[in-house]
Structure 1
Amino acid sequence: RLSLAGVGKGDRIAFFFALGIYATTMTLWGLRLLGALPIDIDARAGTDLFTRFIGLTRPTYMACTPSLAEYLVRKTPELLGHEVRDFKYKGVLTTGEVGIAIPEIKKRLESAYGCRFYDYWAPCGNAPAISCDAEGYYGMHAVAPDVCTSFDDLVDPVTKQPVDADVDGAVGEMVQTNLQREACPVVKYAYGDIVQLFLKECPGCGFKGRRIKVIGRSDDMLIIKGVNVYPGPIKDVINQFIPDVTGEMRIVLEHPPPRVVPPLRLKIEYGKGMANADLPDLAEKIATELHNKIKVRPVIEFVEPGSLPKETRKTPIFEKKYES
C-alpha cells in the first residue's frame, strides 16, 4: 500500500504517532517489509525531540496526523531555524483524522512541505487504502479489496440498517468481515468510521476500483434538529474562508452528544490581520455557507490566532463544556 506513495528500499520514514497497542503501529512491519527504515518516536515524547531526530536522521518520508503536520509548519522554524520544506521529504503520509481530504488543507500542506501528501489507512488491518499521486483529492483507493468485505458493507450509523454499497456516493458506517485473516478474525465488526463510497474511475489516476472518503466517526456524529452532522464537512466549509480564518476550530458542546440543542456553537480562530470590526460580517458569511451546505446555522465565537492548541496526537474537535 505505502509502496504506491513511492516508499521503498533504503527510505527512512519519520513515524510520529502514539506507539504501543494502537492501529498505526501495525504499519511499522509493513514499512520494514518494503526495505524501509521506520524512525518511530512516540508522539507523547513531544515535537522538540521529534524535530531533533529528523535533523539527525534525515528521513525521506514523514508519517503523522494531518494536524501535527500543520503544527510542524509553525513549530519547526522556532525549534530548528528553518522551514519544513527544508527537510526535503519525498512525501508525507497522513492518517487518523479528516485532513487532506479538505482541499484547502491539502494545498496548504503540500505548498509548505514542497511534496505530495498521501492519506492512508487500514483500520486494525482491514480495508487497506491510500490516496493517489494527484493534485486533487479523490479518496483513498481500495488496493486490496479481497482481504475483507469493508468496501461492500455499509450500514446507517444510527439505525444500523444496510446501505446500498453499489450506489456511487453512498454514505455509511463501514463494517468489516475478514476473508483471509487466520488469527482473531472479525465478523460484521464496525470500528465507527463513516465513509463516502465512490465507484467510478478515479479522475486523478485512472484507478478503476472502489474509493472512499472518510466523513467522520460515528462517535463524532451530532444530531441537530433531526439532521446528522459530522465535524468534517463543518471544517471543510470553514477552511474555504482562509486567510480570514486560520482553519482551526472547535465545536462547543454544553451536553453529551449526539443530540445538540440548537444553536450549534463554534469557536473559530480569525486570521492574522483581521479587524474586530470585520468579524460580525465574517461570522454571518460562514453561518450562511454552513446553512446552505449542511442545513445548520451556528453561533460563532471568534478567538485569537494560535489560541486553539494543536496536539502531537489527534487534535480534539470538540470542546466539552459538560465535563468541566
Structure 2
Amino acid sequence: MQTTSPFGPGYADAIARKDPIAYMAALDELRMRKLGPQMAYCFKNEYYNAKMREAGITDPRDIRTIDEFRALPAFLTKALHRESQAQSLEKYGHPFGMHLCAPVEDVIHVAGTSGTTGLPTFYLFTRKDLELTYLTIGRVFEMIGLRRGDSILQLFGLSIWVAGTTMVQAAEAYGARPIPLGAEAGVTKALQYIEACRPRVLFATPSMVSHLIARAPEQLGRPLNTMGIEVILVGGEPGMAIPAYRRRLQEGTGAKVFDSSSGAWTNATVECGGPDHQGLHYMAEDYCFRYDLVDPETRKPLPLVDGQVGEAIHTGLEYEAAPALRYATGDILKLNVGECPHCGRFGSRFHFVGRADDLMNIAGVKVYPTAIKEVVETFSPDISGQMQIVLDRPLPSVTPPVRMTIEAASALPESSWDDLARKIEAKVHLLLKVRLKAQIVAAGSLATSNLKTKLVHVLPGQEAKA
C-alpha cells in the first residue's frame, strides 16, 4: 500500500494560497495519474470491458484528460448493480457481480444493503481494499477526536451494512475499543449499556440518538446529556443540516455530534461538528472521486466549482474487488470548494440535497422530501421530531395536497394541534409553493425503527407499482 503522499506540489501550494481553482486542478492531475491504471485494470473485466466498448473505448489509454473521463456515461447504477449480481449468480454461482474484477477467492470481507426487497447490494473488499478503508475511515475518526483506547458504543445496525462490522473493524484498527451492540438490540438495551459501560463515543443514526434522548429520563432516571458522552458519529439519514434537529441532538446528548458518510469504495466524509452544518469534509481525495457531478436530466458533466449542485458519479481510484467505476449513485450533492467557515480547513465539502429517485413532482413543483422536513423542523419544540410523508402511489408524481403525519411534542396540549397543523401547512406553502395536509398525532404514535428511519412512506401494496 502507498505510504507516501500522492499529492503533487501544486496541491499544497493551492491550499497555502487558498485557491479553489488551483486546488481542483491539482486534484484532477492526481485523479488522472490514478485513473489510467484503474481503467486498464477494469478493462480486463468482462462487464467493464463491454461498458467501455459501448462508450467507444477500445483502449483505456485513449482517455487522457479528466474532461474526457467525465464525459463518459455511467457504467453502473443501483439497478445495473443488482442485475450484474443476478447474472454472476447464474453464470458463476456467486452473487458478487459480473463487475467483480478480483478473483473471488481474494474477497475477504462483504458488506452491503439490508436486502429487504430482494438480493442485497454487495460491497466487496480484498485485503488491500479493506486496509485502504481502515485508512480513510481512520481520517474520519481523527477529525472527530477519537482517541486510542476510547470506548465506543456501536449502535449502527450490525447487519450487513458498511456502518456495521466494517466500521467496528475500522475502529479496532484505529486503536479504539468498539462495543458492538448494534441497533438491533433496541433502545432499552442501548441505554443499559450506556449506563454500564460509560462510553465516551457513540456511533448511531440520528433517529436512534433521538430515541435515546427521549427514553433516557424514564429508564435511567436522568437525561442523556448527563451520561458523559462526548462524541457522537451519526450517518445514514438526512436531517443533520436542519438547525432545529441538529440543536435537539446536540443539547439532548451534551456531545459534539458529527454527521458522516463513509465506507463503500474508500469513500470517507465527515463534518467538523460545529453548531451549524458546514458540509461533509471529503477525507479521501487520494483514493476516491466521490463528487463527479452531472446534470440529473441531461447526464452532462457540470463544472466542479463552489456551489455546484448535481448527481454524483462515484469512482474508486485504486479499488480491487468490485470497483465503482463511473457509478451513478443517485445522490444529489451540493459541492463547496474553499475554506470551511467553522474549522478553517481548506478543501472540498458537500451537502446531501436528496436522492434523484426521491424527487417529488407535485403538480409541476419539484421538491425533495428533506426540504419539507426542514420547514417542519422549524416548529420545534412543539414537535417531537418524528414525521412521515404518506403517499398513495410511488414517486415521482404526487397529487396535492401532500399528506404528512407529524408527532407533537409530549408537552404540547392536544387543543393546540389543529392550530399547529394549519401553521405548518401555511409555512410549507409559503416557502416551497407546495400544498400540504398535516395531521398532528401524539408523541410516540409513529412507528419507529432503531435502524434507518424513512421519511417517505408509500402505502402497502403500492410499492410494486414503482
Whether TM exceeds 0.5 here: the answer is yes
The answer to whether the aligner puts 1:107 opposite 2:253 as a matched pair is no
Q: CA deviation at 1:10?
A: 0.7
Tell me what 2:264 maps to.
124
| Structure-1 separation of matches of 2:456 and 2:239 | 16
Q: Spell out, residue by residue over 1:12-60, the C-alpha distance to the aligned partner (whole angstroms, 9 max, x if none).
A: 1111122132121222222112210111123222222222222222211
Q: Spell out, residue by residue over 1:121-163, the C-alpha distance to the aligned partner (whole angstroms, 9 max, x if none).
A: 1151443111113222101101222212112x12344x26135
Choose from 117, 139, 142 the match for 2:282. Answer: 142
| Structure-1 separation of matches of 2:365 and 2:411 | 35
Tell me what 1:60 maps to.
200
| Structure-2 separation of matches of 1:301 and 1:295 | 19
Tell me what 2:50 maps to.
none
Question: Does the CA contact (< 8 Å) of 1:23 and 1:125 recur in 2?
Answer: no
Choose from 302, 305, 328 the match for 1:190. Answer: 328
The answer to whether the aligner puts 1:245 opposite 2:409 as a matched pair is no
Q: CA deviation at 1:190?
A: 2.6
| Structure-1 separation of matches of 2:154 and 2:460 | 35
| Structure-1 separation of matches of 2:344 and 2:239 | 23
The answer to whether the aligner puts 1:301 opposite 2:444 as a matched pair is no
Greater displacement, 169-178 / 159-168: 159-168
| Structure-2 separation of matches of 1:165 and 1:9 | 40
Structure 1: gaps (5+ residues) = none
Q: CA deviation at 1:238?
A: 0.6
Q: Output the amino acid matched with 1:146.
A: D
Q: CA deviation at 1:250?
A: 0.7
Question: Does the CA contact (< 8 Å) of 1:269 and 1:303 recur in 2?
Answer: yes
Choose from 147, 154, 162 the match for 1:8. Answer: 147
| Structure-1 separation of matches of 2:299 and 2:415 | 49
Tell me what 2:46 maps to.
none
Q: Output the amino acid matched with 2:302.
A: D
Question: Does the CA contact (< 8 Å) of 2:265 and 2:323 recur in 1?
Answer: no
3-state SS in 2 of match to 1:299? strand
The answer to whether the aligner puts 1:268 opposite 2:268 as a matched pair is no
| Structure-1 separation of matches of 2:220 and 2:264 | 35
Question: Does the CA contact (< 8 Å) of 2:259 and 2:273 recur in 1?
Answer: no
Greater displacement, 255-264 / 314-323: 314-323
Tell me what 1:315 maps to.
453
Tell me what 1:70 maps to.
210
Choose from 155, 160, 163 the match for 2:294. Answer: 155
The answer to whether the aligner puts 1:178 opposite 2:345 as a matched pair is no
Question: Does the CA contact (< 8 Å) of 2:265 and 2:324 recur in 1?
Answer: no
Structure 2: gaps (5+ residues) = 1-139
Choose from 263, 285, 290 the match for 2:428. Answer: 290
Question: Does the CA contact (< 8 Å) of 1:13 and 1:61 recur in 2?
Answer: yes
| Structure-1 separation of matches of 2:423 and 2:338 | 34
Give the TM-score normalised by the residue count of structure 1: 0.92
Tell me what 2:9 maps to.
none
Q: CA deviation at 1:304?
A: 1.6
Question: Does the CA contact (< 8 Å) of 1:68 and 1:310 recur in 2?
Answer: no
Q: Output the amino acid matched with 1:51.
A: L
Over aligned residues, Cα RMSD in angstroms?
Answer: 2.0
Question: Does the CA contact (< 8 Å) of 1:243 and 1:271 recur in 2?
Answer: yes
Tell me what 1:215 maps to.
353
3-state SS in 2 of match to 1:93? strand
Tell me what 2:176 maps to.
36
3-state SS in 1 of match to 2:316? coil
Residues 296 and 194 (structure 1 numbering): CA distance in 2 closer, same or farther, change over 3 Å?
same
Residues 188 and 10 (structure 1 numbering): CA distance in 2 closer, same or farther, change over 3 Å?
same
| Structure-2 separation of matches of 1:209 and 1:34 | 24
Greater displacement, 4-13 / 261-270: 261-270
Choose from 199, 209, 232 the match for 1:92. Answer: 232
Residues 7 and 221 (structure 1 numbering): CA distance in 2 closer, same or farther, change over 3 Å?
same
3-state SS in 1 of match to 2:169? helix
Q: CA deviation at 1:228?
A: 2.7
Larger radius of gyration: 2
Greater displacement, 288-297 / 243-252: 288-297
3-state SS in 1 of match to 2:208? helix
Residues 227 and 148 (structure 1 numbering): CA distance in 2 closer, same or farther, change over 3 Å?
farther
Q: Which structure has greater helix proportion?
A: 2
Tell me what 2:97 maps to.
none
Residues 271 and 87 (structure 1 numbering): CA distance in 2 closer, same or farther, change over 3 Å?
closer
| Structure-2 separation of matches of 1:282 and 1:167 | 41
Question: Does the CA contact (< 8 Å) of 1:67 and 1:99 recur in 2?
Answer: no
Tell me what 2:395 maps to.
257
Question: Does the CA contact (< 8 Å) of 1:150 and 1:174 recur in 2?
Answer: yes
Question: Does the CA contact (< 8 Å) of 2:335 and 2:351 recur in 1?
Answer: yes
The answer to whether the aligner puts 1:21 opposite 2:21 as a matched pair is no
Q: Spell out, residue by residue over 1:188-231, the C-alpha distance to the aligned partner (whole angstroms, 9 max, x if none).
A: 11333222211232111112111111223233322212333222
Q: CA deviation at 1:286?
A: 1.9
Q: Output the amino acid matched with 1:18.
A: G
